[in-house]
């Protein structure tokens, strides 16, 4: 009985391990499949999955994280439609969520979530379209259903193997079960990474067929690797490796993605407009909020990297102020000196920038420059007399001094 159980478990382990070790074929250029019209779920599994996603969307629609702004949501929708085509994007409902991380996702029922951290990091319509097109590729290829079936099949194999192993318990049977478990899990994670590669392939296909510059897809990952390096460096950590696949990785390595996306972009499309100016104009009303949320993540290296990237076209009062906030929050003595300089630069560009005057005053007070600091705080209260912290700030100004 023991030998029979070992044979069964061994055969299953070899079968699954062979699948897990199979290397994915290099992605090939692809055009989007013909649009087949509005899709409805088919079969019990997919219908059930869509029902769950419908319930999740009801909760999402009422979430405090959702930014209910028609202009912002409409602009994100426009970029999606320009990327995948007006016919395809009609079934998508977009929710912009106030989450400072780089992320976006799309549910099988047509619900797309776009994090504000993504909007902060991409610099053009082409870069945003690359990410949105990737998520739409998951939707059009119905990857969620495939993943559901794969995980169910894998766990079924493990359940039956556990039953067989329990009939003849021994050290060798237990070891074979553990090997099978690792093989099944490895195969499932590989399956997920292959889905991500397929979605990348579809996403670059949408961009190739659009009026946007497809080379931007590779640039998204190149800049993200730069941010990760800056974050690790500021924390005193080793430089991250972007060419390795962890056992439980759900996505391919960033370097791999940047490489094959660059290869799959149409060379003759490199001179297309990427919509950078339009993107900056659309994001401008929200940039202050998005920067504030990013700085509150307490990731100094990543935030400094993003500010430097945003300032490539020139430093603005808003960017100087955000940089001052970043350094003041870290709070080392040298940081406070730098923060005061950044706030002063912001005030020089925009003397009516109330928050920059506030930050300048607080930084100067902490570095022992009481007179100049109190003057800056007084200016803050003149510009914003109804500020929520007006009473607290007023206590930092000597009694008898003129108050607004």
Predicted confidence (pLDDT) at residue 128 exceeds the cutoff of 60: yes
pLDDT of residue 18: 44
Instruction: Calculate mean pLDDT across residues 384-388.
Output: 93
Instruction: Calculate mean pLDDT across residues 202-217.
Output: 95
Instruction: Calculate mean pLDDT across residues 147-152.
Output: 61
pLDDT of residue 343: 97
Position 27 confidence tier, pLDDT thresholds 50, 70, 90: low
Q: What is the DSSP string of 246-285?
A: -TT-SS--HHHHHHHHHHHS-GGGTTS---HHHHHHHHHH
Predicted confidence (pLDDT) at residue 404 exceeds the cutoff of 80: no
| Closest to 258 measured CA to CA, from 307, 225, 297, 306 | 225
Tokens of 8: 């069964």
pLDDT of residue 107: 87
Tokens of 138: 């998951």
Judge whether 202 and 140 are in contact, CB under 8 Å.
Answer: yes
Helix or strand or coil: residue 290? helix
What pairs with residue 95 in β-bridges?
Answer: 113
Domains and CATH numbers, the chain: 2-267 (no CATH), 315-394 (1.25.40.10)
């Amino acid at each position: 009985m023991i030998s029979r159980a070992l044979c069964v478990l061994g055969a299953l382990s070899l079968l699954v391990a062979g699948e897990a070790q199979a290397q994915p074929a290099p992605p090939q250029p692809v055009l989007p499949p013909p649009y087949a019209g509005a899709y409805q779920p088919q079969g019990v599994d997919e219908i059930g999955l869509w029902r769950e996603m419908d319930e999740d969307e009801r909760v999402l629609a009422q979430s405090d994280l959702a930014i209910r702004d028609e202009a912002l949501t409409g602009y994100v929708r426009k970029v999606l439609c320009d990327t995948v085509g007006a016919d395809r994007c009609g079934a998508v409902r977009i929710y912009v969520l106030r989450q400072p991380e780089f992320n976006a996702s799309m549910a099988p029922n047509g619900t797309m979530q776009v994090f504000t951290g993504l909007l902060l990091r991409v610099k053009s319509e082409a870069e945003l379209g690359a990410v949105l097109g990737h998520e739409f590729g998951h939707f059009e290829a119905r990857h969620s259903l495939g993943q559901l079936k794969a995980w169910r099949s894998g766990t079924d194999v493990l359940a039956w193997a556990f039953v067989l192993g329990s009939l003849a318990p021994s050290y060798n049977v237990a070891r074979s079960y553990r090997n099978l478990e690792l093989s099944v899990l490895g195969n499932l994670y590989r399956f997920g990474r292959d889905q991500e590669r397929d979605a990348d392939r579809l996403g670059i296909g949408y961009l190739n067929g659009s009026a946007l510059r497809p080379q931007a897809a590779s640039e998204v990952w190149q800049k993200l690797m730069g941010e990760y390096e800056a974050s690790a460096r500021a924390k005193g950590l080793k430089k991250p490796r972007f060419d390795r696949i962890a056992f439980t990785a759900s996505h391919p390595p960033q370097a791999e993605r940047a490489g094959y996306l660059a290869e799959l972009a149409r060379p003759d499309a490199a001179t297309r407009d990427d919509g950078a100016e339009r993107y900056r104009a659309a994001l401008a009303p929200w940039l202050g909020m998005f920067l504030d949320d990013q700085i509150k993540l307490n990731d100094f290296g990543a935030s400094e990297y993003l500010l430097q990237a945003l300032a490539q076209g020139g430093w603005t009062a808003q960017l100087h102020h955000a940089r001052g906030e970043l350094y003041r929050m870290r709070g080392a003595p040298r940081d406070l000196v730098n923060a005061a300089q950044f706030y002063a630069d912001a005030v020089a560009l925009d003397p009516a920038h109330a928050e920059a005057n506030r930050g300048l005053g607080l930084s100067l007070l902490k570095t022992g420059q009481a007179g100049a600091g109190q003057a800056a705080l007084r200016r803050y209260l003149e510009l914003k007399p109804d500020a929520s912290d007006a009473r607290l700030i007023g206590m930092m100004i000597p009694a008898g001094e003129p108050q607004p």
